[in-house]
């Protein structure tokens, strides 16, 4: 049987025709059925075709039967690179911790997703789920992840914090020099939102690093000289910095007992006499004493006037930076003086003093004009009001030791303490370091300390690229879990930075991830067949980024199993 199209009455018909032979053996044709008019839309013929297509499991309608549908185009390149690093560094081993604890959900998958989101497109936990709809996450069934799954995984992270920290430390040990490790410790403030009060709350109002009073918590980070973060700790937002140093270093020594010699470098906010005494009693591997390089706070420079005065004279004669060494309380005291920096600091202070003097003249002029009966705009000013206003401005400029406002006087008066001004100028351009390291020259001690600036860049990454703040979690354990996720993200960031630097690439990790983000995974379906997956063409620049990161390129045949 076959279909035959014939014309009749100006219309074209489709007939089902059968071929046969008659009694004489001659070939003949006969019509079995008339299926309908070919030129009629929505008639019996279209209905029959639709039924046949449905019976075959194919879409019906007027479309071309050879239909190609592009079902999705998801970002792959950036999460592919992070996925490769995650497994290469061994972070997938975190899953064993939660499997031993008999968790029925894939906690490690949720942790991985939240860490990757910090590096690719930082967002809230609900935002993570929205982000997952735009990426092709290797090895993870994202449809099984919910908001509650993410939050419960953060709780699990804190419930097994010790095991997780030990696992991370084990992964980082190959990246740490066992013979001599110079590590840097510093703290930063992380802004937190919300006004509720929780038991054991770490959110407290304090002076942030930006110089404003805010509700916050403190985050301490220890990193190696290569910039690899190896430890972090969350402290109360109103805690003093100095008392955090000793307990932090005790934990670092216990977590990395294989380090034979440890030299810790810390900023001036962490020095106190109690710290020095306590640090001198700490010991690492082989009972070797802990060594340190600590900056002396500027407020204590006054104790060294006899040392600094002749040094300033020698530096002025040499007209260049000089480094000298002395003894202080049984430790080496290394002092640096930079004439250029001293001049800059002196001029900047004098400019602030001059601006305040002009402000004082303005206030005094308004008071004199009022006494003369002149009418001026604004509210009337009193001497006590002028004193209070000027005192606060002097305090905000941190010049209260030099500009003395007489708050007891009936009239608005102030004076410049020339002795205090000369003392401040004597301290300009100087850096003082206390250390018990014996085999480093003074210049080497200074160089080691100035490397501390790299940890500040790590804090900048946490606050900008990783966007650790502001924190909207209320519960202390969730806040600590959020800090842990950001800390792991910082580790991946630093590994990428090291590899890019080793490959002489000028790209930053965030720029590299942005380039890789253009690599997409497409899903295409032809007719009702099985979906076909493919990777977009990898451009030379993207190939260079993958090569610099020492990561294999995803190909058209790349399989993405659920690991």
Contact criterion met (CB below 8 Å) for 26 and 33: no
Residue 330 DSSP symbol: T
pLDDT the model gives residue 76: 94
Q: Name the H helices within 226-338.
A: 245-255, 273-280, 305-318
Structure tokens that stand for 195 in this block: 């006004």
As a whole number of angstroms, the distance between CA 289 and CA 390 comes to 51
Residue entry with tokens 């932090």: 248
Q: Which of 27-36, 435-444, 476-485 has the lowest mean pLDDT?
A: 27-36
Q: How many CA atoms lie within 13 A of 288 on its CB side?
A: 17
CA-based torsion, 391, 397, 398, 399: positive or negative: negative
Contact criterion met (CB below 8 Å) for 507 and 514: no
pLDDT the model gives residue 60: 58
pLDDT the model gives residue 518: 94
Backbone angles phi, psi at 332, to 5 degrees: -75, 135
pLDDT the model gives residue 57: 67
pLDDT the model gives residue 561: 41
Q: Tell which wins on pLDDT, 68 or 390.
A: 390
77-113 pLDDT, tens digit each = 999 999 999 999 999 999 999 999 988 889 999 999 9
As a whole number of angstroms, the distance between CA 55 and CA 45 comes to 15
Question: At 59, is the pLDDT very low, low, confident or very high (cuts 50, 70, 90)?
Answer: low
pLDDT over 70 (residue 63): no
Average pLDDT on 265-270 reads 85
pLDDT the model gives residue 66: 55
pLDDT the model gives residue 350: 96
pLDDT the model gives residue 517: 95
Q: Which of 22-31, 374-383, 435-444 has the lowest mean pLDDT?
A: 374-383
Task: Provide CB contacts within 8 A for 482, sequence distance 6+.
Answer: 154, 468, 471, 473
Q: Which of 343-347, 356-360, 467-471, 554-558 has the lowest mean pLDDT?
A: 554-558
Q: What is the mean pLDDT of the chain?
A: 87
Q: What's the pTM?
A: 0.79
How would DSSP label each residue in 468-518?
--SB---SHHHHHHHHHHHHHHHHHHHHHHHHHHHTT----HHHHHHHHTT
pLDDT over 70 (residue 62): no
337-357 pLDDT, tens digit each = 888 888 999 999 999 999 999
Q: Tell which wins on pLDDT, 483 or 60.
A: 483
CA-based torsion, 392, 394, 398, 402: positive or negative: negative
pLDDT the model gives residue 563: 37
Q: Tell which wins on pLDDT, 305 or 168.
A: 168
Average pLDDT on 320-343 reads 88
pLDDT the model gives residue 562: 39
Question: At 226, is the pLDDT very low, low, confident or very high (cuts 50, 70, 90)?
Answer: confident
**Listed residue (301, 190, 289) closest to 249, CA to CA:** 289
162-199 pLDDT, tens digit each = 999 999 999 998 888 877 678 899 899 999 998 899 99
Average pLDDT on 114-120 reads 96
Domain locations in the chain?
2-65, 75-267+457-504, 339-427
Structure tokens that stand for 542 in this block: 């993207």
Question: At 415, is the pLDDT very low, low, confident or very high (cuts 50, 70, 90)?
Answer: very high
Cα of 441 vs its chain's centroid, Å = 35
pLDDT the model gives residue 556: 61
Which strand (E) or helix (H) includes residue 69?
A: strand 68-75
pLDDT over 60 (residue 245): yes
Tally Cβ neighbours within 10 Å of residue 73: 14
Q: What is the CA radius of gyration of the chain?
A: 37
Residue 59 DSSP symbol: -
Question: At 441, is the pLDDT very low, low, confident or very high (cuts 50, 70, 90)?
Answer: very high
Average pLDDT on 373-382 reads 78
Average pLDDT on 120-134 reads 93
pLDDT the model gives residue 394: 94
Percent of the residues in the chain that have a pLDDT greater than 90, as a whole number:
48
Question: At 283, is the pLDDT very low, low, confident or very high (cuts 50, 70, 90)?
Answer: confident
As a whole number of angstroms, the distance between CA 275 and CA 241 comes to 11
Q: Tell which wins on pLDDT, 354 or 56.
A: 354
Question: At 557, is the pLDDT very low, low, confident or very high (cuts 50, 70, 90)?
Answer: low
Contact criterion met (CB below 8 Å) for 290 and 279: yes
As a whole number of angstroms, the distance between CA 218 and CA 203 comes to 9
Question: At 219, is the pLDDT very low, low, confident or very high (cuts 50, 70, 90)?
Answer: very high
């Amino acid at each position: 049987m076959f279909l035959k199209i014939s014309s009749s009455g100006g219309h074209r018909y489709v007939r089902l025709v059968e071929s046969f032979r008659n009694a004489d053996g001659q070939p003949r044709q006969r019509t079995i059925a008339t299926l309908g008019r070919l030129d009629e839309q929505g008639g019996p013929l279209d209905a029959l075709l639709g039924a046949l297509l449905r019976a075959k499991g194919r879409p019906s309608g007027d479309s071309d039967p050879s239909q190609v549908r592009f079902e999705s185009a998801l970002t792959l390149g950036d999460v592919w690179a992070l996925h490769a690093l995650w497994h290469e560094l061994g972070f997938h081993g975190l899953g064993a911790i939660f499997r031993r604890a008999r968790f029925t959900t894939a906690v490690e998958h949720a942790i991985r997703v939240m860490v990757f989101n910090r590096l690719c497109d930082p967002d809230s936990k609900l935002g993570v789920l929205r982000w997952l709809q735009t990426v092709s996450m290797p090895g993870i069934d994202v449809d099984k992840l919910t908001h509650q799954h993410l939050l419960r995984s953060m709780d699990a992270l804190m419930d097994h914090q010790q095991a997780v920290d030990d696992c991370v430390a084990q992964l980082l040990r190959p990246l740490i020099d066992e013979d001599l490790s110079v590590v840097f410790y510093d703290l930063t403030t992380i802004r937190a939102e919300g006004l509720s009060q929780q038991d054991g709350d770490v959110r407290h109002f304090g002076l942030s690093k930006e110089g404003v009073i805010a509700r916050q918590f403190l985050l301490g980070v220890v990193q190696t000289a290569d910039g690899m973060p190896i430890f972090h700790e969350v402290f109360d937002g109103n805690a003093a910095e100095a008392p955090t140093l000793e307990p932090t270093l005790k934990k670092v020594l216990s977590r990395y007992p294989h380090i034979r010699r440890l030299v810790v470098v810390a900023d001036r906010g962490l020095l106190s006499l109690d710290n020095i005494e306590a640090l001198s009693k700490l010991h690492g591997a082989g009972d070797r004493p802990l060594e340190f390089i600590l900056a002396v706070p500027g407020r204590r420079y006054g104790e060294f006037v006899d040392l600094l005065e002749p040094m300033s004279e020698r530096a002025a004669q040499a007209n260049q930076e000089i480094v000298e060494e002395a003894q202080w309380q049984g430790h080496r005291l290394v002092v640096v003086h930079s004439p250029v920096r001293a001049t800059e600091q002196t001029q900047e202070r004098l400019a602030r003093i001059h601006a305040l003097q002009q402000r004082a003249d303005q206030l005094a002029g308004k008071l004199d004009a009022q006494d003369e009966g002149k009418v001026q705009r604004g509210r009337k000013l009193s001497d006590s009001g002028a004193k209070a206003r000027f005192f606060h401005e002097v305090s905000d400029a941190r010049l209260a030791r030099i500009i003395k406002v007489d708050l007891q006087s009936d009239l608005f008066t102030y004076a410049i303490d020339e002795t205090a001004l000369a003392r401040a100028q004597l301290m300009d351009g100087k850096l003082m370091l206390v250390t018990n390291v014996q085999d480093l020259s003074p210049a080497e001690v200074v160089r080691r300390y100035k490397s501390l600036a790299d940890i500040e860049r790590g804090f900048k990454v946490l606050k900008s690229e990783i966007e650790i703040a502001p924190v909207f979690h209320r519960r202390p354990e969730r806040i600590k879990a959020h800090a842990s996720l950001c800390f792991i993200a910082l580790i991946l960031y630093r590994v990428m930075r090291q590899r890019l630097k080793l490959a002489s690439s000028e790209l930053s990790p965030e720029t590299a991830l942005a380039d890789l983000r253009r690599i997409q995974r497409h899903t295409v379906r032809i007719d009702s067949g099985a979906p076909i997956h493919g990777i977009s063409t990898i451009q030379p620049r993207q190939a260079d980024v993958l090569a610099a990161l020492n990561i294999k390129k995803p190909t058209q045949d790349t399989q993405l199993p659920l690991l």
